[in-house]
Amino acid sequence: MFQLVSLSDVVRIPPDKLKGPLVQVAEEILKARYESTLTPEFGYIILVSDVSVEPVGKLIQGDGGTYHRATFKVLAFEPKLQEIVEGEVVEVTEFGAFIRIGPADCLLHISQIMDDYISVDLKQGIISGTNSGRKLAVGSKVRVRITAVSLTRGISMGKIGVTCRQPFLGALEWIEEDTKKKEEAVKKENA
């Protein structure tokens, strides 16, 4: 889930940047510190915005920089357990597929793709069901449920596991097919 979070921090303005506009310098420092990082509290931090800096800072003896309290907002993506998300297949491997959801790639293990015997063609980047004929390829749009989330602090990507072995999950064309079949069955039943 994407969210906008308000944060505050103390920013050290180095001596060589004291002549620049305070808010602009603080924003550059905060962007370098926070953007493209991962925290257990907020997930993937994508963007820093709306920076506000106290104009009067503090000095520390022996340090030529000034320290200013800053408030700002971050755009974050935090994957939640059981959340249903849509993404795109970006890689097919022997053990499943990687799905891009927001800024992260998650693993759709081969056992979580469909209730069918599965064959994998790595050269063409296709996973197919033997009996159903359904295919999942690089570029396919999918709807999945998040089943596992492991986020650690830092620049690491974290780990997200997903499944599409439930009704109305999987490749969007599969969902369309299932919906049409269900509508036709209801029409026949009501006729």
Residues 158, 90 within the same domain: yes
Res. 36: pLDDT tops 60 = yes
Residues 102, 130 within the same domain: yes
Domain boundary among 23, 54, 77: 77
How many domains, in total, are found in the chain? 2
Q: What CA–CA distances, in Å, run from 52 to 6, 74, 77?
A: 11, 13, 22
Q: CB of 66 within 8 A of CB of 26? A: no
Residues 42, 71 within the same domain: yes
Residues 73, 8 within the same domain: yes
Q: Kindly report the pTM of this predicted structure.
A: 0.76
Residue with tokens 């690089």: 138
Residue-wise pLDDT for 60-107, tens only, equals: 888 888 999 999 999 999 999 999 999 999 999 999 999 999 888 999
In the chain, what is the straight-line distance between the N-terminal and C-terminal CA atoms, in Å? Answer: 42
**Residue 183 CB burial class (10 angstroms; 0-12, 13-18, ≥19):** exposed
Residues 88, 72 within the same domain: no
Domain boundary among 77, 97, 132: 77
CATH number, residue 48 = 3.30.1490.120
Residues 161, 186 within the same domain: yes
The count of other CB atoms within 10 Å of the CB of residue 24 is 12
**Residue 89 CB burial class (10 angstroms; 0-12, 13-18, ≥19):** buried
Residues 91, 171 within the same domain: yes
**Structure tokens belonging to residue 29:** 């420092």
Beta-carbon contacts of residue 185 (< 8 Å; ≥ 6 apart): none
**Structure tokens belonging to residue 122:** 């790595």
What band does 156 get if pLDDT is binned at 50, 70 and 90?
low
Residues 124, 73 within the same domain: no
Residues 89, 57 within the same domain: no
Give the structural domain span for 18: 2-77
Residues 101, 149 within the same domain: yes
Residues 134, 46 within the same domain: no
Res. 24: pLDDT tops 90 = yes
Domain boundary among 27, 47, 77: 77
Residues 104, 146 within the same domain: yes
Residue-wise pLDDT for 119-144, tens only, equals: 999 989 999 998 988 999 999 999 99
Which of 15-19, 50-54, 57-61 is the most confident on average?
A: 50-54
CATH number, residue 165 = 2.40.50.140
